[in-house]
Structure 1
Amino acid sequence: MNRIWSLAAGHACVDFYQGAVPALVPFLVAGRGYGYVAVSGIVLAATLSSSVVQPLFGVLTDRWRMPWLIPLATVVAGTGVALAGVTGSYALTWLAAALSGLGVAAYHPESARLARIASEGGHVPMSWFSLGGTLGFASAPVLVTPLLSVWGLGASPLLAAPAVLGAALTLPAVRALTGARGGSRAVVRAGGRDDWPGFARLTLVIVFRSVVYVGLSAFVALYVGGGAAGAVALFVLFAGGAAGTVLGGRLAVRWGRVPAMRVAYAAAVPAVAGVVLAPGPLVYVFVAASSVALYVPFSLHVTLGQDFLPNRVGTAGGVTLGLAVSVGGLTSPLVGAMAEATTLRTALACLIAFPVLAWLLARTLREPAPEPA
Structure 2
Amino acid sequence: MRRTTPFRGRAPGVVPLSVGHACVDVYQGAVASLVPFFVAERGYGYAAASGIVLAASLLSSVAQPVFGLLTDRRAMPWLLPLSTLLAGAGIALSGLPGGYPPTLFCVAVSGLGIAAYHPESARTARRVSGGSHRAMGWFALGGNLGFAAAPLLVAAVVGTGGLGLTPLLAAPAVLGCALCRPVLRAARARHPADAAGGTAEAGRDDVPAFVRLSLAVVCRSVVFVGLSTFVSLYAAQRTGGGTAAGTAALCVLYLGGAVGSVLGGALADRFSRVAVCRWSYLVAVGAVAGVVYVPGPALLVFLALTSAGLYVPFSLQVTLGQDYLPSRMGTASGVTLGLTVSVGGLAGPLLGALADATSLRWALTPLIAMPALAWLCLRRLSEPAVPRPAPAAVSRAAPRR
Q: TM-score with structure 2 length normalisation?
A: 0.84
Aligned with 2:227 (options 197, 207, 216): 216
2:73 is matched by which residue type in structure 1?
A: R
Residues 225-279 of structure 1, C-alpha deviations (whole Å, 9 max, x = no match)? 4514444333322221111111111011111211111111122222223334445
Aligned with 1:102 (options 94, 112, 116): 112
Match of 2:188?
178
Residues 66-121 of structure 1, C-alpha deviations (whole Å, 9 max, x = no match)? 11111111112112223334465655443332222111111000000010011111
1:25 Cα deviation after fit: 4.4
The yes-or-no answer on 1:312 pairing with 2:323 is no
Are the structure 2 counterparts of residues 91 and 289 from structure 1 closer, same or farther at C-alpha, using a change threshold of 3 Å? closer
Match of 1:12?
22
Are the structure 2 counterparts of residues 13 and 102 from structure 1 closer, same or farther at C-alpha, using a change threshold of 3 Å? same
1:58 Cα deviation after fit: 0.5
Structure 1 residues 242-251 or 71-80, which shifts more?
71-80
Any conservation in 1 of the 2:71–2:199 contact (CA below 8 Å)? no
The yes-or-no answer on 1:142 pairing with 2:158 is no
The yes-or-no answer on 1:115 pairing with 2:125 is yes
Structure 1 residues 49-58 or 269-278, which shifts more?
269-278
Aligned with 2:313 (options 297, 301, 304): 297
Q: RMSD of aligned C-alpha atoms?
A: 2.6
Aligned with 1:155 (options 157, 165, 185): 165
Please list, as runs of the form range in 1=range in 2, the aligned pairs for 1:310-349 lying within 5 A after superposition: 310-349=326-365
Any conservation in 1 of the 2:199–2:329 contact (CA below 8 Å)? no
Any conservation in 2 of the 1:124–1:250 contact (CA below 8 Å)? yes
CA distance in 1, matches of 2:26, 2:265: 22
Aligned with 2:207 (options 192, 196, 210): 196
CA distance in 2, matches of 1:218, 1:83: 20
Match of 1:232?
248
2:204 is matched by which residue type in structure 1?
A: R
Structure 1 residues 128-137 or 261-270, which shifts more?
261-270
Q: Helix, strand or coil for the counterpart of 1:352?
A: helix
1:45 is matched by which residue type in structure 2?
A: A
The yes-or-no answer on 1:64 pairing with 2:74 is yes
Aligned with 2:280 (options 247, 251, 264): 264
The yes-or-no answer on 1:164 pairing with 2:174 is yes
Are the structure 2 counterparts of residues 272 and 147 from structure 1 closer, same or farther at C-alpha, using a change threshold of 3 Å? closer
1:45 Cα deviation after fit: 2.3
1:209 Cα deviation after fit: 1.1
CA distance in 2, matches of 1:38, 1:350: 20
Match of 2:198?
187
Q: Helix, strand or coil for the counterpart of 1:190?
A: coil
Aligned residues: 372
CA distance in 1, matches of 2:127, 2:253: 31
Residues 258-302 of structure 1, C-alpha deviations (whole Å, 9 max, x = no match)? 111111112222222333444544333222212111111011010
Any conservation in 2 of the 1:66–1:183 contact (CA below 8 Å)? no
1:182 Cα deviation after fit: 5.9
1:160 is matched by which residue type in structure 2?
A: A
Q: Helix, strand or coil for the counterpart of 2:198?
A: coil
Any conservation in 1 of the 2:147–2:254 contact (CA below 8 Å)? no
Residues 186-209 of structure 1, C-alpha deviations (whole Å, 9 max, x = no match)? 215312111110100000011111
Q: TM-score with structure 1 length normalisation?
A: 0.90
Percent identity over paired residues: 59
CA distance in 2, matches of 1:334, 1:280: 26
Any conservation in 2 of the 1:51–1:323 contact (CA below 8 Å)? yes
1:63 Cα deviation after fit: 0.4
